[in-house]
Structure 1
Amino acid sequence: MRPSAFACCIWLAVGAFSPLARGQAVAIQTEGLQWLQRIADAAELLSYSGIFVYRSGNRSETSRIVHQAGQGRQNEKLEVLDGSPREVIRHDDEVSCYLPENRLVIIEQRSVRRNFPGLLANGLGNLHDHYLIRTGGTERVAGFDCQTIRLEPRDGWRYGHRFWVDPASGLLLKAEIVDANGGVLESMAFTDLHIGAPIPPEALKPRYEAAAREKWRIRRAKLSDLREDAPWVFRSELPGFRKLTALRRAFDNEGKEAAMLHWVFSDGLAAFSVFISPLTAPQEQGEESFRTMGALNIAKRVLGGYQIVVMGDLPPDAIRHFAAGIGMRGK
Structure 2
Amino acid sequence: MISRKIFPLFSLFLLLVVSLQTAVAQELSRSTQSALGWLKKMAEAPRRHNYSGTFVYYADGHIETSRIVHKAGPTGEYEKIEVLDGLPRIVFRNNDEMQCYLPESKKIYTEKRWFRKFFPDILPLPLDNVDENYSVKEIGRERIADHECQVLSLTPRDSLRYGHKFWIDTATGVPVKVAVIDGNQIIEQFAFAQLEIDGDIPFSQLKPNQSLISGEWETTKLLTSILGEGELPWQVKSFPAGFRKLIEMKRNLTEKPVLVDHIAVSDGLATVSVFIEPISKDAPSPVPGFFTSRGAINIYVRTLNDNKITTVGEVPLETIKLIGDSVVKKD
Query: Given the two structures, how large is their TM-score scaled by the length of structure 1?
Result: 0.86
Q: 2:35 aligns with which of 26, 32, 35?
A: 32
CA RMSD, 1 decimal: 2.4
Separation in 2 of the partners of 1:159 and 1:107? Answer: 31
1:304-328 per-residue CA deviation (whole Å, 9 max, x = no partner) reads 3222211111011111121112121
* Secondary structure of residue in 1 paired with 2:32: helix
One-letter amino acid of the counterpart of residue 265, structure 1 = V
Once the two structures are TM-superposed, the CA of residue 127 in structure 1 deviates from its matched residue by 1.0
162-171 or 30-39, larger mean C-alpha shift: 30-39
Specify the alignment match of 1:6 in structure 2.
none
Q: Does 1:77 align with 2:90?
A: no
Specify the alignment match of 1:328 in structure 2.
329
Separation in 1 of the partners of 2:175 and 2:246? Answer: 23
Q: 2:207 aligns with which of 205, 208, 213?
A: 205
Residue correspondence of structure 1 range 97-176 to structure 2 within 5 A: 97-176=100-179
1:239-272 per-residue CA deviation (whole Å, 9 max, x = no partner) reads 222222211113697xx96311222211121111
One-letter amino acid of the counterpart of residue 16, structure 1 = A
Where does structure 1 lack aligned partners over 5 or more consecutive residues? 1-10
Query: Given the two structures, how large is their TM-score scaled by the length of structure 2?
Result: 0.86
Specify the alignment match of 2:8 in structure 1.
none
Where does structure 2 lack aligned partners over 5 or more consecutive residues? 1-17
Once the two structures are TM-superposed, the CA of residue 29 in structure 1 deviates from its matched residue by 2.3
Separation in 2 of the partners of 1:251 and 1:54? Answer: 24
How many correspondences in the alignment? 310
Residue correspondence of structure 1 range 1-331 to structure 2 within 5 A: 15-17=22-24, 22=27, 28-180=31-183, 182-207=184-209, 209-211=212-214, 214-227=215-228, 228-250=230-252, 258-280=258-280, 281-284=282-285, 287-292=287-292, 293-330=294-331
Counterpart contact for 1:94–1:111, Cα < 8 Å = no
One-letter amino acid of the counterpart of residue 226, structure 2 = D
* Secondary structure of residue in 1 paired with 2:260: strand
* Secondary structure of residue in 2 paired with 1:202: helix
Distance 1:231 1:85, change over 3 A: same
One-letter amino acid of the counterpart of residue 35, structure 1 = W
Distance 1:101 1:289, change over 3 A: farther
Separation in 2 of the partners of 1:282 and 1:305? Answer: 12
Separation in 1 of the partners of 2:140 and 2:263? Answer: 38
Once the two structures are TM-superposed, the CA of residue 209 in structure 1 deviates from its matched residue by 4.8
Separation in 2 of the partners of 1:237 and 1:284? Answer: 28
* Secondary structure of residue in 2 paired with 1:128: helix
One-letter amino acid of the counterpart of residue 235, structure 1 = K
Mark the structure with the bigger radius of gyration: 2
1:17-64 per-residue CA deviation (whole Å, 9 max, x = no partner) reads 49xx95x975x5211111111111110010100000000011110000
Once the two structures are TM-superposed, the CA of residue 295 in structure 1 deviates from its matched residue by 1.3
Counterpart contact for 2:29–2:135, Cα < 8 Å = no
Separation in 2 of the partners of 1:13 and 1:277? Answer: 53
* Secondary structure of residue in 2 paired with 1:157: coil
Separation in 1 of the partners of 2:19 and 2:317? Answer: 28
Counterpart contact for 2:43–2:125, Cα < 8 Å = no
* Secondary structure of residue in 1 paired with 2:129: helix
* Secondary structure of residue in 1 paired with 2:136: strand
One-letter amino acid of the counterpart of residue 134, structure 2 = Y
